[in-house]
Amino acid sequence: MYVRYFKLIAMLLITNAHDIFAQNINENNVIYSKNFIRGIIEKVNSYQYTHPWTEKDRGWKRGVYYTGVMACYQATGNKKYLDQCDAWGNQNNWDVPEVSADSTASGANSLTCSQTWLESYMAIKKNYKIQATIDYLEKPNVKNPVNRPLNYYYEEDTLRYVDAIYVCPPVFAMLNKITKDEKYLGWIDSFIWDLYGALFSSADNLFYRDFRYRSEFYNNDFGFPRPDSVKYEDARDNYPYQKTKNGKKVLWARGNGWAFAGLVRILKYTPKHYANYKRYQELFRIMAAELIKRQQNDGFWYPNLDDPNDYGTKEASGTGFFTYGIAWGINNGILDKEVYLPVIKKSWAGLVSVVSAGGKVQWGQLVGTGPYKILQEDSHEYVSGIFLLAASEMYKLEK
């Protein structure tokens, strides 16, 4: 009995010590220091690099992870991160996954890896890093605005999907910066404004993930209804729905994260004198102003931005994207520091709190197309990559 009693006391003391330590970190602003951020970048990246979800991959999951690794190289100047990216490029011959001529699957996802190829080229110019991407986009069967203008940004089942804003058009912005060919800027315009017209809710200033979540198009009996055996609150798979139990819309946090972070990467490489630059910048500002209204008291954005009680838990991937985007906006003078800095101080503290002692970024929703139940242990390579993106911009913030 006494042994159990002392074990319980010990557990409580350890828990309280951790809480006190976390409180002191926040009070002393340690988590915002460059030394701390360098350390947590190293911890998260080391964990993810040594815990790959599969041995070889050049798809969007690992592609998003490496956008984070490259961002950390650009922020810190630590060449080990560039070397890691180059090793991944060499492993894949700097090539792009093929999409067959008769495929209805997205050509957009295939270009995720090219963001790392192109940013590596900007660091150390070697033509072999970018030639495969350029050649790929000129193939007759490849989905691009010239060869297949009606479906080059589609997912399977010819669904326009908001995730595509992150995985594809930043490549076009980078190619314009490298080659000076303005056709790539036209491709961005075609891509973004088609998706905007189909998926943007002007009433909310946010995006639907795809049109299955718009109540004016679908009802709950269409698409992929949830089996009767799966309780609403226990759903761990994608079942498109248009209204929550509280009568609110379904505005997926990570879906809007894909869009918000994608706009960052478009603005980063698009010339400021380009005719539509200000239009992208204004959309970015509009989304930012809406997002800060929907942050929760613990610093996180929850899976459904319109209804935090829908699946009422913290979520690391959407929160990571919003932290990345807002910090970048501050760092580049697009967002008002006085308004937005308190927002990302809270969200960064939240993100730091879900990194395990070993470096795993927890509470990150698994692959999906909308909100569903999230568990603490949930994570993936792209969740780590999104955290690294956020860390890279937090590192660049002036004290």
CA-based Rg of the chain, rounded to a whole angstrom?
21
Task: Say which DSSP state 336 is in.
Answer: -
332 by Cβ neighbours in 10 Å (0-12 / 13-18 / 19+) ranks as middle
pLDDT value for 233: 82
Can you state the angle between helices 79-91 and 112-123, rounded to 10 degrees?
130
CB 139 within 8 A of CB 151: no
Q: How far apart are CA 264 and CA 395, in angstroms?
A: 17
Q: Are 386 and 317 in contact (CB under 8 A)?
A: yes
Residue 146 CB partners (closer than 8 Å, separation 6+) = none
Measure the CA dihedral 186/112/71/348, to 10°.
100
Torsion angles phi and psi, residue 252, rounded to 5: -65, 130
- Dihedral sign (CA 193, 212, 304, 261): negative
Mean pLDDT by 10 residues, the chain (399 residues): 40 38 58 98 98 96 98 98 98 86 74 97 98 88 67 75 96 98 94 93 97 75 66 85 91 98 98 97 98 98 97 97 99 98 98 98 97 97 99 92
206 forms bridges with which residues in the sheet? Answer: 201
Lookup: tokens for 184: 């790539």
Nearest in space to 390 (alpha carbons), one of 284, 285, 257: 257
Res 227: pLDDT = 75
- Strand partners of residue 207: 200
Cβ neighbours of residue 364 closer than 8 Å, sequence gap 6 or more? 315, 316, 317, 320, 374, 378, 379, 380, 383, 386
**Is 97 in contact with 113 (CB distance < 8 Å)?**
yes
Q: Which residue intervals of 51-130 are DSSP H helices?
A: 60-76, 79-91, 112-123
- Judge contact between 112 and 99, C-beta under 8 A: no
Decide: 117 and 163 in contact? Cβ < 8 Å.
no
Residue 52 has φ and ψ, to the nearest 5°, of -70, 150
Q: Rounded to whole angstroms, how far apart are CA atoms 154 and 351?
A: 32
- pLDDT at position 78: 98
CA-to-CA dists, residue 255 to 54, 162, 199, 208, angstroms: 24, 6, 11, 7
State the greatest distance between any 2 C-alpha atoms of the chain, in Å, as a whole number: 76
From CA 303, how far away is CA 307, in angstroms rounded? 8
Name the amino acid, one letter, at 37.
I
pLDDT at 102 (0 to 100): 61
In this prediction the pTM is 0.92
In this structure, what token pair is assigned to residue 85? 């990216």
Return the amino acid letter for 164. Answer: A
Domain regions of the chain by residue span: 41-219+241-396
CB 121 within 8 A of CB 178: yes
Tell me the two tokens of residue 83: 């070397």
Under DSSP, the state recorded for 222 is: S
d(CA 216, CA 108): 26
CATH class assigned to 41-219+241-396? mainly alpha
Q: Give me the pLDDT at residue 389, please.
A: 99
The identity of residue 349, as a single letter, is A
Asked if residues 18 and 356 have their Cβ atoms less than 8 Å apart, the reply is no
